[in-house]
Amino acid sequence: MSLNEFSSIMVIFGGTGDLTHRKLMPALYNLLFEKNLPENFCIVSVGRRDKTNESYRNEVYESIKNFSRIELDENVWKVLKNKIYYQKFDFHDDNGYTHLKGLLSELDDNYNTNGNRIFYLAVAPEYFELIVEKLNEHGMVENNRSWQRVMIEKPFGKDLNSAKYLNKKITEVFREKNTYRIDHYLGKEMLQNIMVIRFANVFFEPVWNNKYVDNIQISSSETVGIENRGGYYEKAGALRDMVQNHMLQLITLTAMEPPVDLSTESIHDEKVKVLKSLQELTPELVLKNAIRGQYKGYREEEKVKPNSDTETYVALKIYIENFRWAGVPFYIRTGKRLPVKSTEIIVQFKPLPGILFFKENGGLTPNLLVIKIQPEEGVFLQFNAKKPGTSNKIIPVQMDFCQNCQVGSNSPEAYERLIYDALRGDSTLFTRWDEVEYSWKYVDKIAEVWRNEKPNFPNYEAGTWGPIEADKLILKDNFKWWNIGGSNNENL
Collect all residues with Cβ–Cβ distance below 8 Å to 354 and sequence separation of at least 6. none
The separation between CA 422 and the C-alpha centre of its own chain, rounded to angstroms, equals: 16
Q: In terms of Cα–Cα distance, which of 111, 131, 119, 22 is closest to 68?
A: 22
DSSP label of 146: S
Collect all residues with Cβ–Cβ distance below 8 Å to 86 and sequence separation of at least 6. 15, 44, 45, 46, 47, 51, 52, 53, 56, 57
Per DSSP, the three-state class of 42 is strand
Q: Is 138 a catalytic residue?
A: no
Q: In terms of Cα–Cα distance, which of 94, 183, 136 is closest to 421?
A: 183
* 187, amino acid identity: G
Distances (CA, A) of 265 to 84, 261, 356: 34, 9, 48
List 21, 184, 246, 268, catalytic entry: 246
Q: How far apart are CA 92 and CA 386, in angstroms?
A: 69
Q: How far apart are CA 37 and CA 17, in angstroms?
A: 23
Distances (CA, A) of 113 to 70, 97, 127, 374: 27, 19, 27, 36
Under a CB-based contact definition with an 8 Å cutoff, are residues 207 and 393 in contact?
Answer: no
DSSP label of 23: I
DSSP label of 20: I
Which string of DSSP letters, residue by residue, matches 255-307? HPPPPSSSSHHHHHHHHHHHHHTBPPP-HHHHHHHEEEE-BTTGGGSTT--TT
The residues carrying an active-site annotation are 246
